Amino acid sequence: MILRSKPSFKDILFTINGSILPRIAWHLVAVAVLSIVAVFAAQHHPGIFVKISAIPFTLTGIALSVFMSFRNNACYARWWEGRMLWGDLIIAARSFARQTALLNEDDRRFLLTHVCAFAAGLAARLRSEDEAAAIARWSDTAPSENSPNPTNEVLDRIGRHCITLMQTHRIDAIHYSVLETQLSALARVQGGCERIAMTPVPFAYSLLLHRTALIFCITLPFALAGSLDWWTLLPVLLVAYTFFGLEALGHQLEDPFGLEPNALPLGAMLRTVERDMLSLLGETELPEPVQPRNHVLD
């Protein structure tokens, strides 16, 4: 996730890190080259583009802008829902930890370290990383061989331990139901995150937008070259930067759990859970909070 203050005039002109420009640079180069070709053609063959009017591009540009805004809103909603779910995970983890305060040290350490294992496994699962290895940092019990969902297995392990505590009368049924409420909240978070990760924006929707923006940007120079000459480059590149940039940004926000600069900082949120759980266990040497590098927090 990009962490920057309100951009200054200097930032607007020169900032590259955190900008979408590197992702669309070759698109802009291609449009610029095509615009130069159109200008040369208009200069050497006056009137060649006289029948190409800019009016259809005005109407098409308005429709494309509206269509693009709908897609970007849908992608941002996915990003924001992912952030809300991880916020709920942090809240549920803290509540669960507080509700284990009456347990003995061994039982409480087992439960809270497995909460860390659950969060680590979920982060790895959402990023298609080694889920078992992430869980192994906090749990000595390896997931079952060929387990379809090791992270859910950790949550099940916590639940079964809570049942054991109730059956051995170390907690009563009311206390168990309170703990189970937080485990259900963690399960809902995992299910919500998996729903986002496994249900992308329909491919045909993205393909239609990308094709329309591409056709618009590569044909626009021919409508302007005859009347604007070399000034054609300015509006064409500005339009291309806007359309291609919004399309690329929407593609990043579509996968809120990915590794793109604008994705959610799962590493930082996971570290928050780890620090909170270890602190409640009385640990004094806590892992350092994740800090942004070059204004990018992961």
Residue (of 105, 96, 112, 107) closest to 169 by Cα position: 107
- Distances in Å between the Cα of 4 and the Cα atoms of 18, 141, 194, 270, 293 are 9, 41, 29, 21, 11
Q: Which pTM was predicted?
A: 0.87
Pull the structure tokens for residue 117.
């294992």
Taking the CB of residue 72, how many other CB atoms lie within 10 A of it?
18
Q: Helix, strand or coil for residue 2?
A: strand
Instruction: Answer yes or no: are the C-beta atoms of 236 and 52 closer than 8 Å.
Output: no
Pull the structure tokens for residue 270.
């996971």
> How do residues 169-189 score in pLDDT, each as one tens digit?
999 999 999 999 999 999 999
> How do residues 43-73 score in pLDDT, each as one tens digit?
888 777 767 777 778 878 888 888 888 888 9
Burial grade of 66 (CB within 10 A; 0-12, 13-18, 19 or more) = exposed
Pull the structure tokens for residue 85.
């779910």
